[in-house]
Structure 1
């Protein structure tokens, strides 16, 4: 017990003296906190200026012929000859002989019809002579008044005259059937499909080939309700004359098929009579003149059935701001850099959206500095260090995209 006292008591006294000395010692002042300025965030920016912008509507469609027909035999006979171009893909001009049928029987029918006409004319001459003779006999007998119709042979004369008309009609029909043995092209076109050849008998009404005109091609292009607000369509109203002028919107068609790409220019010539009940879209028809003509470069012909993308020239928006899509945040918000070099959120009204840029109708002022870089965690009042660059150039106009719905 005395040993514990000898150890514990000195330790307790030593601890108490140490605590007393620490309390009496002067306290050193705490170190001052260093206040470093917040670094500015480097961003790219561009000065916005109003301008006029022509909207381009993007859509797609399939090329079809303006006129497509079935080439049909009007008389029955055997095919004895066809034109060298009367093959799938062959071109022909209006009036070209495409198919020749055996016409020997039809030539004989024409000869027989001419003979019938001559016989009918002879019968009329004979009846006229009989009528004149009957009138002379009536007078020679001294009978008073005019002779009756039967005495003067008027019914017989009328019947003979009618037989002439009938014989002439038969002759004309036989001549037409003879002409129909030579099947000619109704217009300048191309053979789509051939279903008969030399040596084959075709009956009247039998389809020989499918052909289509090559003077122009047409493409039905669907437009949504949003797109229709930015185009002036050639509408037609009841009682108005159909106009054939070229006042419709211009359209540029592009296609890449089999490694060959091409571009063609056309116009919108009409709109469909109603809205499609399934897609709720309105189809407009673009027309391209002379689609099979050789063009400069290696542009292929615009063939029927080709799937093409189309850029339709729409309305021109006045005094709008064209800004890059990456500058849009939360659908309709942009970041503007103030004179204090700080970010400020601004709500804007978007009139139209393209793939890489949007068209702002209101919400910006000329000369303002727009942040053109995507900042994921930008907050109001963030200090930035802008690097001013030209507004990004527009690329591939005519590829509309919906307005942004989330943060860029």
Structure 2
């Protein structure tokens, strides 16, 4: 009987011993602390954000071209006897410099002849006026009916006066032709082509050269539809930056002059004209910009109020992740007003002091608890 009781009691003792051992081991093992639980949460870096007013920068591209192109022609005929050393293709000449000269002997003779004709006409006028004065004194002794305009030599005086004016006009024309024997640059110019040489006979009206005005250049830049909304109401006169990208960038100051007044039928864009003073840097120490250069133009558009400026990589399908007051991830739908290079301009969906997630977990979920690492800088533009 005792043996049978021990048979049942022994397993119970073994189980009791095993439980006592487990309890002892568990009580002496490491406890799972709240800090260790927290360390298992995903770590994200956040930065507080603040809104501010922001001036939109509009960027476009175009080709620098001359404001004025002149097809130069001779105004008198004659033989070319000399030309300016810079009057060659690619040469730059200054305003008022003599580009080339035409043999002027015949035109000098024409001036002398016109001067002689004028002197003769003036002498004839003096003579007629003297005769008219004599006739006027004699008319005092004659009956009034006999005194006529012809007797007083008024027609002769008018004719002599007209001859003087005609001679003056002829002299003026002769002097102008003489002056036109020296063809001068109408402005600071780049010589694009030249069609004459020394010893060549040219006729009046013949094309001799093509000149580009280098006192100013202009760039026609297209403004896309999404940029048109950010143009100021009155943009004529705004300053602009004109940049030629390359190994070393060339940057010049420009100014918006006007738009072309029409919408391009193929692109549905407007074109704005930006002027650049002295593009070839003739009168300055700036780096020159040559006609035909493809340049970038930047200018300031409208000022937007209460805007958030975020790096593009933080905005995905118009959604931004923030960490709320509970330490949870929260997706925010935002209104993207504009993209500028690597940044997005946000108008709605965010609030000041929101904690923007800079390092989004690989599988972000709404309500996911995260451990927050706050960046030092506040995100503003």
TM-score (norm. length: structure 2) = 0.80
The CA deviation at 1:224 is 1.8
| Correspondence for 1:256 | 245
Sort the Cα spacing of 1:367 and 1:180 in 2 relative to 1 into closer, same or farther, 3 A.
same
Pairing partner for 1:278 from 266, 269, 278: 266
Segments of structure 2 that go 5 or more residues without pairing to the other structure are 1-36
| Correspondence for 2:65 | 64
CA deviation digits over 1:321-375, x for unaligned, max 9? 1111112222x22122223332212111222212312111121122222223466
Larger helix fraction of residues: 2
Equivalents in 2 of 1:327, 1:235: separation in Å? 33
Sort the Cα spacing of 1:175 and 1:294 in 2 relative to 1 into closer, same or farther, 3 A.
closer
Equivalents in 2 of 1:309, 1:82: separation in Å? 38
The CA deviation at 1:41 is 3.5
Query: Contact 2:221–2:271 at 8 Å: present in 1 too?
Result: yes
Query: Contact 1:323–1:391 at 8 Å: present in 2 too?
Result: no
Query: 1:253 aligns to what SS in structure 2?
Result: strand
Query: How many residues are aligned here?
Result: 345
CA deviation digits over 1:129-153, x for unaligned, max 9? 544555677677x555452223333
The CA deviation at 1:179 is 0.7
| Correspondence for 2:276 | 288
The CA deviation at 1:302 is 0.9
Aligned-residue CA RMSD (Å) = 3.1
Equivalents in 1 of 2:53, 2:230: separation in Å? 14
Query: 2:344 aligns to what SS in structure 1?
Result: strand
Sort the Cα spacing of 1:321 and 1:391 in 2 relative to 1 into closer, same or farther, 3 A.
farther
Equivalents in 2 of 1:77, 1:276: separation in Å? 47
| Correspondence for 1:328 | 315
Query: Contact 2:319–2:334 at 8 Å: present in 1 too?
Result: yes
CA deviation digits over 1:51-81, x for unaligned, max 9? 2322211110111123332222111222111
The CA deviation at 1:212 is 2.7
| Correspondence for 1:53 | 54
Equivalents in 2 of 1:393, 1:69: separation in Å? 54
Check if 1:357 corresponds to 2:337. Answer: no
Equivalents in 2 of 1:207, 1:374: separation in Å? 70
The CA deviation at 1:384 is 3.3
The CA deviation at 1:307 is 0.6
Equivalents in 2 of 1:283, 1:390: separation in Å? 44
Query: Contact 2:50–2:353 at 8 Å: present in 1 too?
Result: yes
